[in-house]
Structure 1
Amino acid sequence: MLLNVSYNRPKIKKQIDDAVGKPFSLVERIKMKGIGSGKMFIDSTSIQIHNLLVLDNNQNVCGIEMRPNGILVTFRSLLETYALVIPFYKLKIYKGQSDVYSIYRDDYFIKVKIKEKQHHKFMQKLLNFKLEQYDAKLQHPN
């Protein structure tokens, strides 16, 4: 789901928290050695996201935030901030040639071009965390 998160709206915050969980606490963030990707350059996107990004002439960048049950891919267009909310069960990540990672959720996608080693490490950390979450759910189904 693609949401405008520019403003503090409790209804939107609840939608995000229900889909991917509440943000990690400070202690959890320190134990995990960070939960954010930093700035990544957008290579291409699905048409819905592309229509937002072409509204301004700024460089198209995004960031990924890990949550307990998914991720948020955030980007800016004009003066608004948007988040693509992706629960782990809908998240698909592919690594293409020339260091382009494709992040999919249903009919939305963002392809990011990665040049820095820290971003490759973050993507590996994200995939490992997703696997850990699935293993924990398999061992302790609720």
Structure 2
Amino acid sequence: MEGLLLPLLLMLVLAVPLIMGTRKQKKAAAQQQELQNSLAPGDRVMTTSGLYATVADTADESTIDLEIADGVVTTWLRQAIRERIDPMAADEDEDSDEETADESAESVEEPVTATAESASESDSASTPQVAEPLEHKK
């Protein structure tokens, strides 16, 4: 009995991570399948290649039509859809980016003008130097 205990424990230690890994993969695949089946026209999505688009048509089971710009509709495999983008979160991110950009533009305005003046003074004082052409000996 003692001779079987060690191999049995070794197999158990190796089997548990394998089983847990396959459960995680099955769960992720089921979530992805649920996402692809729940897409409707008007949903904002991101593809696996990072392209943001709006779902235009979901009539086919294997493909989906995405509008990437006004009037530009392309056909993609459903498996290429990586995630649905929440339009409310995207609007909040854009608003916070605009506020940050406005604040940084106000604080940077003075140094930029001073730098531009000093750059124009240094350009007039120095002349560009050009290297002489290399002569090849044959």
Give the TM-score normalised by structure 2. 0.26
Greater helix fraction, Structure 1 or Structure 2 = 2
Greater strand fraction, Structure 1 or Structure 2 = 1
Give the TM-score normalised by structure 1. 0.26
Structure with the bigger RCO (C-alpha within 8 Å, sep 6+) is 1
Answer with 1 or 2: which has the greater Rg.
Answer: 2
